[in-house]
Each structure stands twice: as C-alpha cells, then as structure tokens.
Amino acid sequence: MPLYILSFDIEDWFHIFHPAYENNPELWEKLSGRVEENTGWVLDFLSKHHLKATFFCLGWVAEKYPTLIKTIHREGHEVAAHSFLHNKVKNLGPESFYADTKRVINILEEITGNKVISYRAPGFSMDKTTHWAFEILHGLGIENDSSFKSGMYMGFPKKIPNEPFILKGEGFSIREFPTRTFNLLGSHQIYSGSGYFRLYPYHFVKKMFKSSDYEMAYFHPRDFDNHIHKYLNGHLLVSLRYRIGTNRSRSNIDQFVTDFEFRTLQNAIEIFDWNNAKIYDLLNGDNNQAG
C-alpha cells in the first residue's frame, strides 16, 4: 500500500526567505497576521474530509497564538516542531540551533502537554554541512525528521533515498522522511507541496503520486490565501511567487485528498517496514539496508 503523508508548516505569510522579512521578529509584530484565519480554513477542510495531518509548527506562531496550537492538538492532529524563528539551519551554528530548537519544543510541549518527537527544518535546509544538527535534535528528544530532499547529494557521496530511511550518527539514529523530487533539465525540483503544488498542473502532480509508493505532501496556510498579494505590496516578484496558483489551490487540494489516501507522520511510522529500511550514514553518506 502506498505511503502518503499529509503535513502543514504552520507559519505566517511573512515567514519567507526574503531580506525584507527574514529573521525580523520586531517587524513581524507590526504586520497583520493571517495564520489564524488560514489555518482555520485548513482545519475545517481536514474535518470535512475526516483527515488527520502532521502540523510542523513555528515557535513564534505558537507563542503568539497558543490557542491555535491547542485547537490543532485538540482536533487530533500531530504537533511537530518547525524551529522558533524560521532560520535556515545552515545559517545557524550549533549553539544557536540548540537554543532555537529547544525553545520551540518547550513551548509546543507546554501548550499541548505532549512530547514533541518530530522536526522539519525551514526551507529543507539540512545537508552535509549541518550533520551536527541531528545529534542536537536527538539530544532534545527528536526521533523523526523531514528536512531532506530526495534524489540529491546534499554534499554527501551518495544521493538521499526516495523513501523513509534511518539517519545514523555517532551513537544515535533518527528516522528520516524526505520530500521527493524529480529531475527537470538537470535540476531536482519538488512537486508534492506548497508553491510547487500551486505552480504545476494538478494532473502532473497526480501522475507523479500514482507512480510512487511514498510521498511527503506539505503545505503552508498561505498556500490557500488568495489575498496574500495585498500583504506583499512593493515586492512584485515575491508577490507573484506566493500568489501564483492560490486561486485554484483550494479546489486542487480538495481533489488531491479525494484521489489519494493520506496519513500522519506518526501513523506512517507505525506501518512502515523499518527492518528493511535503508541506513544512511551521516558521516560518510553510505547507504545500507537495516535488515
């Protein structure tokens, strides 16, 4: 049976990698947030379809809107960590990464009363240069990660596998759930979520999913906000990037969850055959079979 996971990165429209907004919490406080309203739509949508999903939540959002996180948790969805300030891991050193990750885990656990065991780096920003981050994640109780893009080397000698696998470090291991890519003129591109899902025709995404036994679908609340361009005035290219496809994203995801059976990350962990999973050595990038 195919393993399709549905996930959402809970962040606001201004948590983007653009100099005007990136790593600027003082500015964020002055902007009109949309994350409550847009996530509310996501929750209503999931309820309508009787679906559960994994929500990778930004600590900044959790601190500002704790009731939103409580609602996500109360409705039976899995709450996971997505950093506190949405910085790429490669832009942080070990000390800053530890502090940021501990902060988001603490606030999510305080709000939900549940242990946080899954993490996704902003911008899928893990690679060979950030292998040290996984030991920190392990030390903070993280058991599962979804920060890699498959089919790419990411600085390692061998490509990242196209299916769930085990990341092995020195004295620890973490289950990894990569986001799949396809080769477009020599460049590996994501197709299973967010702006890519909005950009590509739905029939193409459907074709890719039908040809795969594993997929990690991911979205942001802003992907379904057809008014986002109003908040990005003065940044034409950025506005176009985040507006493109929002006029059809709601109808497309409605068809998406009708065409495919989705589950949470935790549910996927329970049914995946880990005895035969590939083991990826963080130190040298070797691929081996667990069994």
Q: Where are the domains of the chain?
A: 3-289
- The pLDDT of residue 212 is above 80: yes
- The pLDDT of residue 291 is above 60: no
Confidence of residue 234 (pLDDT cuts 50, 70, 90): low
Residue 220: predicted pLDDT? 97
Which of 114, 150, 119 minimizes the C-alpha distance to 136? 119
pLDDT greater at residue 98 or residue 244 = 98
Residue 235: predicted pLDDT? 66
At 226, phi and psi to the nearest 5? -75, 0
- The pLDDT of residue 230 is above 80: no
Burial category of 23 from C-beta neighbours within 10 Å (exposed 0-12, middle 13-18, buried 19 and up): middle
Give the torsion sign (CA, 177, 126, 151, 58): positive
Q: Which fold has domain 3-289?
A: TIM Barrel (3.20.20)
pLDDT greater at residue 229 or residue 241 = 241
Residue 190: predicted pLDDT? 92
- The pLDDT of residue 191 is above 90: yes
CA distances from 207 to 197, 202, 259, 261 (A): 13, 9, 11, 15
Span of 31-40, 160-169, 225-234 with lowest mean pLDDT: 225-234
Q: Could you report the per-residue pLDDT of 261-271, keeping only the tens digit for each?
A: 999 999 999 99
Q: Could you report the per-residue pLDDT of 91-110, keeping only the tens digit for each?
A: 999 999 999 999 999 999 99
Which tokens go with 282? 């963080």
Interatomic CA distance for residues 73 and 41, integer angstroms: 15
Q: Could you report the per-residue pLDDT of 49-92, keeping only the tens digit for each?
A: 999 999 999 999 999 999 999 999 999 999 999 999 999 999 99
Mention every residue, 6+ apart, whose C-beta is less than 8 A from residue 267. 52
